[in-house]
Structure 1
Amino acid sequence: MLGHTSGGIASAGRVFAVPDHMADRQALCLVLGEETHKGIRKVAPQTAENVLIAGAGLLGLLSVFNLTRRGIADVTVLEPDPQRRALAHRLGAKAFAPDALPHDQFDVGLECSASPAGFGELLRHLRPAGRCVVLSDGNWGGLVLPPEFHARELSLVASSDGEDYHAYANWLWQHADSELERLFQQTIRPDELPATVRRLRQWPRPVSVVVDWT
């Protein structure tokens, strides 16, 4: 867990031994996988409840993986990009474009879009007394509460870093899934980073990019 660096010295407590059967790109899901799972734990969806996720980027797709592999069968994703909707479907969710669903249909919401429009639509889809967790950082604009938040007496919490990465690693190693490798759609060299960051400001963009430091 060294962040965006090519190498470094870490204490033993921050090192994770990746088993031989685990592909490198699946192991890359460890950190954000635990961080999304922490957010899920905060709203604690039950097996009979239905969950709506706004956004099928890396946070949204890892949320789908965490939910479906832990027994939540009714997971739906709102995502404008058809390729990302296809990835959500492969991981076990139903996926729709924005404005394609009726409101007041969902018990739990996960905000993963970082978009004011996506966040507002997510809350409008929740039933009265619904629960929502914000996993994204709102870097595409401020996340503003719509009138439905008060009228339906929704509850809202935020979630950031994970709590127990080692526990999540042990779970992830037991749930290896080649579909996770599809989330890392592009590999680049370090010298391509500046141009890639500029390009990622425009649509369409890959779910995630891997830098090959070798």
Structure 2
Amino acid sequence: MHQHRLQVTAARSLTWTRHHLPPVQAHELLVRTIAGAISIGAELPQVRGDDPTDPAPVYPKETGYESYATVLAVGDNVTRFQVGDRLLAFYGHQDVALVEESKAIPVPDGISPKLALLNILSCDAAKGVRKLAPRTTDSVLVTGMGVMGLLTVFYLRHFYHVDRIVVFDPDPVRSSLALSLGAHALYSDTDETFTHALECSARQDAFVLLQEKLVPHGQLCILSDGNHETLSLTPAFYEKELRLVGSSDGWDYQEHAAWFFKTAPHVPRLEHLFEQTVASNDLAECFERLLTDATPLKVLVLYPSVD
């Protein structure tokens, strides 16, 4: 079987390439992609060629890590999946792929492609929140209502049931979405202080605000990926003896999915994180537009169905 992959062949240049897939191995699944997603913060720097985590990019390279697919064939030793099952995987912009069974996440019936795809970044956000482990009675300030910030609010409200979640973002549309996902209020310049804070904007001014607004010995987690500005500590960090933690990829995608797929269908506004939809055939052109236009929160990529 042949596979088509979207590859970055040079900075700001993308093309679909054709590859031959080897036979399915014992612990592998052959899958066909139903839908994927563009992760704006992670992928646009890679396409532009200015990703700070990859200062000397080597081409061709591939982007993307969110794929929702159906199983076409299974290896001899596969036990958790059968042909026709739906799953999540991390292979990016490809029409068909080989996936290790251990790295595939089962998706139950009735879950939309949008909600299925959000499980991955929801798990990443959850890891940071779990490092702070807020109590129900705690107060939490979250800066940056991009995808990570919004999913952080969702997890704070629907897993930890935090009583007081305040968000800060200059975009009124994103702030409104945060309120619909569980935030209690938008930040206003008052004397209110917070026991916990999460930084999801990658902006120094937001990082300064969080340090100012935390109580002594408060906890701060950086969930942004640092692709905008360098974050620096202020005197308040030392004077109040704050605790700072970083967070990266998800804590356990399989276990998180069991909770997420039970909870997310009851919060339909989550699907509003996908502000654009594009056909896979138009994906290269979509990236070109994203390099010059205002960027949406997230883009859903739909692949053609094959009978």
Q: TM-score if structure 1 supplies the norm length?
A: 0.91
Greater fraction helix: 1
Partner Cα separation in structure 1 for residue 232 and residue 111 of structure 2: 40
Determine if the alignment matches structure 1 residue 87 to structure 2 residue 177: yes
Map Cα deviations across residues 35-58 of structure 1 (whole Å, 9 max, x no partner): 111111111111110011011100
Structure-1 residue corresponding to 2:301: 211
| Two-structure CA RMSD over aligned residues (Å) | 1.6
Aligned: 1:13 with 2:102 = yes
Please state whether the residue corresponding to 1:45 is helix, strand or coil.
Answer: coil
Q: In the TM superposition, what is the alpha-carbon distance from 1:210 to its structure 2 partner?
A: 2.0
- Please name the residue that 1:41 is paired with: 130
Quote how far apart the aligned CAs of 1:112 are: 0.4
SS in 2 for 1:36: helix
- Structure whose residues are more often strand by fraction: 2
> Quick check: 1:181 aligned with 2:271?
yes
- Distance in 1 of aligned mates of 2:205 and 2:273: 24
Q: Please list, as runs of the form range in 1=range in 2, the aligned pairs for 1:1-214 lying within 5 A after superposition.
A: 1-6=89-94, 7-70=96-159, 71-96=161-186, 100-103=188-191, 105-175=193-263, 176=265, 177-188=267-278, 189-199=282-292, 202=294, 205-214=295-304
The alpha carbon displacement at 1:104 in A equals: 5.5
| Cα distance, 1:152 vs structure 2 | 1.1
Contact 1:104 1:126 in 2 (8 A): no
Kindly tell me the number of residue pairs found equivalent between the two proteins. 209
C-alpha displacement of 1:95: 4.2
Gaps of 5+ in 2: 1-88
Give the alignment's TM-score, normalised by structure 2.
Answer: 0.65
What CA distance in whole angstroms lies between the structure 2 residues aligned with 1:129 and 1:103? 17
Of structures 1 and 2, the one scoring higher in RCO (CA 8 A, sep 6+) is 1
Change in CA separation of 1:146 and 1:103 when aligned onto 2, cut-off 3 Å: farther
Gaps of 5+ in 1: none
Larger Rg computed on CA atoms = 2
Question: Quick one: structure 1 residues 45 and 155, their matched pair in 2 at CA, closer, same or farther if it must change by over 3 Å?
Answer: same
